[in-house]
Chain A
Amino acid sequence: MPKIADQDEVRLTAGRALLLGMSLVLTLTLAAAVLSLPEDQPRLAQVALERLPESGVGNAVTAVLLNFRGYDTLLEVAVLLLAIIGIWSVARTARVWIKRPDTPILRAFVRFVVPLMPIMAGYLLWIGADETGGAFQGGAVLGGMGILWIAAAVWLPQRGGRALLRPLLAIGLLAFLIAATWMLLARGNFFEYPPEQAKDIILIIEGAAMLSIGATLALLFVGGAPQKEESS
């Protein structure tokens, strides 16, 4: 087997020069394509902005994500769940081993900051209906909260916690599927919300998706299936 030093070599060999040339050609082709994009063509934006009042929310990005192109977001939430299932399948043990910090400052800081984070996440979710914000931003804050928790060893995902974590990971996808199927049965179309209830439905789905996104991001950081806590 080649030595590790050889494998880390970044010298420009003949093969790499060929790859570099091909990458350059592709890059220049892409640049030409970007520069030749038509300027004043009819865009999806016109349709999206015209029909914004029917979506139930005032933020066009939220309307596209949760209403007009709900399929994309549904499949994305499914990808999140698949990633965690994949990680738990290949990595039996967590990749991060956290020693309990020997300074009280980190834990005190975490205890002070962490209660503010669900408030911020909830605010981002609520404001996301009409301004910048939404389930992904709120979920990122919740994921950060989980990582802080884990890094300060306030809470470590353990085997026993899987009973709680599994529903938390799946609730986003479940809420999406239930809403979409319910609309299929009630109105005949997948993901067609009645405009007068659209905002409530979107906020419920977003709330569930936010919990799942937060839990997924925090567990991606752990990088393995939760195990029994070490006795040390």
Chain B
Amino acid sequence: MIGSAVLYALGGVALFGMGLYALLAYPNLLRKILGMNVMGTGAFTILIAAAYRGSDAAPDPVPHALVITGIVVSVCATGLALSLAVRIQAVTGAAYLTPDEEDAP
């Protein structure tokens, strides 16, 4: 990869890691959904950068096509996740993953 592509790919890796931590560490469902989106954005950035490999000038169209597909799927998954979070709040009164009774302090 050329210099700027390496930078974008590493930036994507960092986004992926930060999103993963937010997804795992926080019980708030909105934070989890945001974390999932940041992770997805990181994966797309890595894929876009990975298309600029090799000596020929044209970027690889296959990862680029995967990314455009992935963005739309990610938007839809986010919409469905938000609907589920709203429903969880309507049923339990809180948009959180509450700890099980035996785990509660």
**Which residues from chain B contact A34 at a C-beta distance below 8 Å?**
6, 9-10, 12-13, 46, 49-50
Given contacts A4-B94, A64-B65, A79-B73, contact A43 B54 (CB under 8 A): yes
Flag whether A86 is at the interface (Cβ < 8 A): yes
* In contact, A223 and B94 (Cβ under 8 angstroms): no
Chain A residue nearest to B67 (CB atoms) is: A61
What CA separation (Å) do A34 and B104 show in the bound complex? Answer: 41
* In contact, B21 and A23 (Cβ under 8 angstroms): yes
* In contact, A45 and B80 (Cβ under 8 angstroms): no
**Which residues from chain A contact B62 at a C-beta distance below 8 Å?**
44-45, 48, 64, 68-69
Given contacts A37-B1, A40-B55, A43-B53, contact A10 B26 (CB under 8 A): yes
A60 shortest CB reach to chain B, Å: 4
Flag whether A158 is at the interface (Cβ < 8 A): no
Flag whether B34 is at the interface (Cβ < 8 A): no
What CA separation (Å) do A37 and B51 show in the bound complex? Answer: 11
What CA separation (Å) do A213 and B84 show in the bound complex? Answer: 21
* In contact, B104 and A64 (Cβ under 8 angstroms): no
Flag whether A141 is at the interface (Cβ < 8 A): no
Chain B residue nearest to A81 (CB atoms) is: B76
* In contact, B96 and A27 (Cβ under 8 angstroms): no
Chain B, interface size: which category? Answer: 35 or more
Encoded as 1 (CB less than 8 Å from any B CB) or 0, chain A from 36 to 63 comes to 0111110111101100000000001101
Flag whether A185 is at the interface (Cβ < 8 A): no
* In contact, B98 and A223 (Cβ under 8 angstroms): no
B18 shortest CB reach to chain A, Å: 8
**Which residues from chain B contact A139 at a C-beta distance below 8 Å?**
72
Q: Please classify the interface of chain A as helix (H, G, I), strand (E, B), loop, or mixed, using the class held by over half of its residues.
A: helix
Given contacts A27-B16, A76-B73, A213-B72, contact A90 B83 (CB under 8 A): yes
B62 shortest CB reach to chain A, Å: 4
Q: Which residues of chain A from 102 to 154 have any CB-CB distance to chain B below 8 Å in the complex? A: 134, 136, 139
**Which residues from chain B contact A46 at a C-beta distance below 8 Å?**
56
What CA separation (Å) do A61 and B26 show in the bound complex? Answer: 38
Given contacts A19-B24, A31-B10, contact A60 B61 (CB under 8 A): yes
Flag whether A215 is at the interface (Cβ < 8 A): no
Question: 14 A-B pairs, CB-CB below 8 angstroms?
Answer: A7-B96, A27-B14, A30-B17, A34-B49, A34-B50, A43-B53, A44-B62, A64-B61, A72-B65, A79-B73, A80-B72, A80-B76, A216-B76, A224-B83
Residues of A within 8 A of B (CB): 1-2, 4, 7-8, 10, 16, 19-20, 23-24, 26-27, 30-31, 34-35, 37-41, 43-46, 48-49, 60-61, 63-65, 68-69, 72-73, 76, 79-80, 82-84, 86-87, 90-91, 95, 134, 136, 139, 213, 216-217, 220, 223-224
